[in-house]
Chains A and B, each alone.
Chain A
Amino acid sequence: MSGNDVPTDLAQPTASTWRKLYAVVLLELALIVVLLYALARWAA
């Protein structure tokens, strides 16, 4: 096995990493909604 060969299992993100990723997706959605709402209020 060469130095670059990492067993797949070790490369899998943990449950906590997934939870953080889910939180990022939710935060992005919230940010988009707030920005769109602010843009609409400014433009109206």
Chain B
Amino acid sequence: MTLLDWAVLVGTLTFICAYGVWRTRGVQDVEAYFRGDQSLRWPTIGLGIMATQASAITFLSTPGQAYEDGMRFVQFYFGLPLAMIVICAVFVPIYDRLKVYTAYEYLEHRFDVRVRYLGAVLFLIQRGLAAGVTIYAPAIILSSIMGWSLQGTNLGIGLVVIAYTVFGGVQAVSQTQKQQMVVMLLGMVIALIVIILRLPERVSLAQAVKLAGALERMNPVGFELDFNSRYNFWSGIAGGFFLALSYFGTDQSQVQRYLSGKSLAEIRLGLLFNGMFKVPMQCMILFSGVMVFVFYLFTMPPLFFNQSVLAQLATTPQAAEFRDLTQRYAHAHAAQRAAALSYLDALEAHTEPEPAKRALREAAASVREVRKSAKVVIARALPDAELNDTDYVFLGFVMKYLPQGLIGLLIAVILCAAMSSTSSELAALGSTSTLDLYQRLLGRELPKERGLFVSKLFTALWGGVAVSFAAFAALLDNLIEAVNILGSLFYGTVLGLFLVGFFMRWIRATPVLLAALLAQGVVLMVFVFSKLGFLWYNVVGAAAVVLFAAVFQLFMGKDAPSSVQT
């Protein structure tokens, strides 16, 4: 990175953090700390919701995923707008009427304190672990590409977030997220424009899309009903809907974003803003990855994208074998480039393009074959090395081919994303620990100053847990999927609790509690023993809670009455 990049990076991050701290100076009680001053307008709420979900993994993994697998991941988000509508119509009015601080507080109003504890504990487990991954994921990639120390990067990201989140609570999170999301959107739009401009002169945007289509990268919608396929229209609409309903409707890191809204109308508009802009934003990020793929059809990419693994490989006996493969790769890539140009010629000449397309696909298969052989060699030389290098594709491209200044901006985008999602998670973990567990187990409301101290302490403690988990985490298959799979294991059950609460008023506390425990067991069994696509776990978990709760209620009869009818 050049001095200009460093200036852009440090300047952007310092401004955002300083602004957040300055805007939230003087927060003196738990209410302001956890709900802000309830003055947020819909743009801040909407951007905050988007910034919370958009972690660094979104900007690192997603383009890499599109590079390798095309745009089909976008279907994951198809259920999100539907979920926003249900949350606006059903969830938010209830939270607003009960004036809750946390989503799990509702469970006590509707059922009893045991159900509140269960919801809170399930949230703390999955979100506590996920917070570690949201710090670790960018740290490992940044440290590898930039040559920074992994533990230093973990600590650097973690400490900055802990500092401003502990200092300013929810208000600091909301104020910084607005700026962070603007930087993220701006950075990605500029990056996409630059990527397109870097395509060879003779390749138009339409031709680039045609090339991507010929090589199965333009595959954003698939209507095949395959339950084992991770991303298709049906799993996106159904599984994605349940996941989004659970995440935005019951996960405290999101609920806290909109509970600090000025009014019910502002909250609803903020949520609908997210419903309208999320899918286009993901399309843009995935399309950036597809354009990087097309760029690399004409410029030879590395045989393996994780350079730190290659540096280790160079010291092993397999280094020579890898060098031979690199030569084979160069030949295969040259053939693929020629085939791509022939395909474009056929398109321009309006002749039958099928033979040229077939030749291009065969050439691409040869390139894939060499890459596969390279991974076999790496696995033999370094048995513990991570062979999935897609998370390194986008940042590797940024570092090598983007102009000065823009590199700093893109690194700022990634760090902003890491900090925005982590800060929401820490604030939510802090509020849930303080309000749903500590204060509730204590049985009384804490005095103002002590309450604030305990809240800050829990937020800092969770920050410590996240940084420690990040320090020991190992690189999982694909980082963004790992976080989503982890979430999907628990989200269905938590959503089931809320669905029973909202829609099945005849069901009482004990049946729903037993149903949730049993349903969680079922989801974990499905995870271990079946190949079901992970998005369906959300449907299975929620449906199991609803079904078991109904059955248990029928058999158990009367239970303690709910304290509040909602």
Contacts and interface: CB of A to CB of B under 8 A. Distances in A.
Interface of A: 8, 11-13, 18, 21-22, 24-26, 28-29, 32-33, 36-37, 39-40, 42-44
Contacts of B212: 43
Contacts, number: 64
Interface stretch (B137-145, B249-257, B271-279, B322-330): B271-279
Nearest to B212: A43
Interface string B315-336: 0000000000000000000000
A36 B283 contact: yes
A24 B212 CA distance: 31
Contacts of A12: 263-265
Interface in B276-330: 276, 279-280, 283
Nearest to A8: B263
B265 A26 contact: no
Contacts of B59: none
A28 B210 CA distance: 25
A25 B209 contact: no
Given A43-B213, A44-B213, A18 B81 contact: no
Contacts of B280: 32
A23 B233 CA distance: 20
B412 to A, nearest CB: 29
Contact of A29 (B209, B214, B268, B279): B279
B88 A36 contact: no
A13 B267 CA distance: 12
Interface of B: 71, 74, 78, 81-82, 84-85, 88-89, 209-210, 212-214, 216, 218-221, 233, 263-265, 268, 272, 275-276, 279-280, 283
A40 B221 contact: yes
A13 B210 CA distance: 45
Contacts of A43: 209-210, 212-214, 218
A33 B233 contact: yes
A18 B85 CA distance: 9
A39 B218 contact: yes
A26 B209 CA distance: 27
A44 B123 CA distance: 43
B74 A36 contact: yes
Contact of A37 (B216, B221, B283): B221
Given A32-B279, A33-B233, A36-B71, 20 more contacts: A18-B89, A18-B268, A24-B276, A25-B84, A25-B276, A26-B81, A28-B276, A29-B81, A29-B279, A33-B78, A36-B283, A37-B221, A39-B218, A40-B218, A40-B220, A40-B221, A42-B213, A43-B210, A43-B213, A43-B218
A43 B216 CA distance: 9
A-side interface mostly: helix
Given A32-B280, A36-B220, A21 B272 contact: yes
Nearest to B269: A21
16 contacts: A18-B89, A22-B85, A22-B88, A22-B89, A22-B272, A25-B276, A29-B81, A32-B280, A36-B283, A37-B221, A39-B209, A39-B218, A39-B220, A40-B218, A42-B213, A44-B218
**Which 3 A-B pairs rank lowest in CB-CB distance, beginning with the nearest?**
A43-B213, A43-B218, A36-B220
A16 B280 CA distance: 26
A36 B264 CA distance: 33
B214 A44 contact: yes
Contact of B85 (A11, A25, A32, A44): A25
Nearest to A44: B213
Contacts of B221: 33, 36-37, 40
A26 B81 CA distance: 7
A26 B78 CA distance: 10
